[in-house]
Structure 1
């Protein structure tokens, strides 16, 4: 599934955290890692400034490349100039990348719960899965992934994410957690009837059981759950209470948001999750 893994890096702590995850995934899949640093053409004030940034970018790429080589991985290294998110997406298409691994923010420095602009734009536009990693304040490391959470609402986006989550859990021998959150209150007062509530729960249970059945004995155990409440809050709590190492989810659910929107639940988890979040876009959502 993952043969070509891209790691954009700017030398920040968040990017360094992403490198560790990329090494681990590439080692499990026997993938080639592409290390890319982008000089922002919009900030190149003069030749001296450009040369200084270029030298630094080369040093960052060399350092990450050495880490990949030490891990026994095949590596492609590149330094380019342009608008960072545009260069990253162009490289994805050009090199046949299967997975992008990046920090949630870089050297520009943003508030704790905000995404860096480059990461946000890549997430919204990438047609391949994107794994985002926050720089943990306590220095915690969550790989190798022993516990993988796949949230589902039965949508096509959730199904595409489940395919990836199942593959990862199988490759790692991880325990797989499949969870569906019924957010009845957000659908209006009329759905609070016992009949509608039962229908929503039955649909959620069907979605969860379907993924669990597909996992079979290929993973290191399966846990399922259906709960009521705010999907984001419930999922965040589930991650913390069940020692989840990785969340794999679609970029949008049944609400059918526009191409460049992630979906509120996914976006909130990406911004605040204490563990890496891998977002997967459906083929339909990725097409024009």
Structure 2
């Protein structure tokens, strides 16, 4: 499924369950991980000072971080490379992933005691928005994550973008022999009503498209959910009720408003989910 995984790291990397989760995925898929540290030379404290020793210190810190994370991957028998780059983290991560032909980026979101300067806030969200390849996000959880996934949630709103993400999730589920849950939510908010217009797939049609795609891949265990309410709440609630292991979803939706789903649904899911979320954009 994935051949080359880019894993941006910071000083919290060794404490992150995502490091171990990425290693599990790499070992299962015979993939290579590249550990990337971005020395943030775009921040004001560096650009204002203009001092080379400040940059050198950031680079040395990055080398220490990737060395420490490398020790973990060594112990887990994972094939890996390392790199330390300079620049603004989000843009550098995406540009580097494109340049090196990585087909998945893995990044943590929230964690214990606010760990990870990268991700609480702007960097992960920007990477999810900008990356042309799928991005796997997961919280820094001490307990770790189930893998191989036994149950996966594929939210859909009937849009082409959501169906594209669902197909990606179905390909993954087929390789894992995982059960699939397909969810569509009719948003009952006034905001959704204001945006509605034109011909859109009904809830049943949105689900049926994904079910048919699952059947073509030989996936037999498919459960459908048609709900009304707040989409991100329903996504998180379904994950909890059904004890699912991962979510695969698109970052744009049927309204066609410059990644409106990222702003309202996908972003909240990425930020709040306690399981891995794989987002698939339309770049």
Determine if the alignment matches structure 1 residue 12 to structure 2 residue 12.
Answer: yes
Please give the alpha-carbon distance, in whole angstroms, between the structure 2 residues aligned to 1:245 and 1:22.
Answer: 14
RMSD: 3.0
The equivalent residue for 1:196 is none
- 8 Å contact from structure 1 (residues 18, 102) kept in 2: yes
The equivalent residue for 2:212 is 213
Counterparts in 2 of 1:89 and 1:223: CA distance versus 1, 3 Å: same
The alpha-carbon deviation at position 248 of structure 1 amounts to 0.6
Give a deviation string over 1:108-130, Cα, whole Å, max 9, x none: 9589xx84221121112111111
Aligned length: 271
Following superposition of structure 1 onto structure 2, how do residues 11-90 of structure 1 map, counting pairs within 5 Å? 11-12=11-12, 16-41=16-41, 42=43, 43-44=45-46, 46-90=51-95
The equivalent residue for 2:154 is 150
- 8 Å contact from structure 2 (residues 136, 277) kept in 1: yes
Query: Normalised by the size of structure 1, how large is the TM-score?
Result: 0.83
The equivalent residue for 2:177 is 173
The alpha-carbon deviation at position 14 of structure 1 amounts to 8.9
The alpha-carbon deviation at position 142 of structure 1 amounts to 3.4
Please give the alpha-carbon distance, in whole angstroms, between the structure 1 residues aligned to 2:105 and 2:156.
Answer: 22
Query: Normalised by the size of structure 2, how large is the TM-score?
Result: 0.84
The equivalent residue for 1:251 is 251
Please give the alpha-carbon distance, in whole angstroms, between the structure 1 residues aligned to 2:108 and 2:139.
Answer: 6
Which runs of 5 or more residues in structure 2 are unaligned?
none
Please give the alpha-carbon distance, in whole angstroms, between the structure 2 residues aligned to 1:220 and 1:149.
Answer: 15
- 8 Å contact from structure 1 (residues 105, 119) kept in 2: no
Which runs of 5 or more residues in structure 1 are unaligned?
192-198
Please give the alpha-carbon distance, in whole angstroms, between the structure 1 residues aligned to 2:129 and 2:15.
Answer: 19
Determine if the alignment matches structure 1 residue 236 to structure 2 residue 236.
Answer: yes
Please give the alpha-carbon distance, in whole angstroms, between the structure 2 residues aligned to 1:279 and 1:14.
Answer: 24
Please give the alpha-carbon distance, in whole angstroms, between the structure 2 residues aligned to 1:16 and 1:140.
Answer: 9
The alpha-carbon deviation at position 101 of structure 1 amounts to 0.2
- 8 Å contact from structure 1 (residues 15, 103) kept in 2: no
Give a deviation string over 1:64-87, Cα, whole Å, max 9, x none: 223334433321210111111121
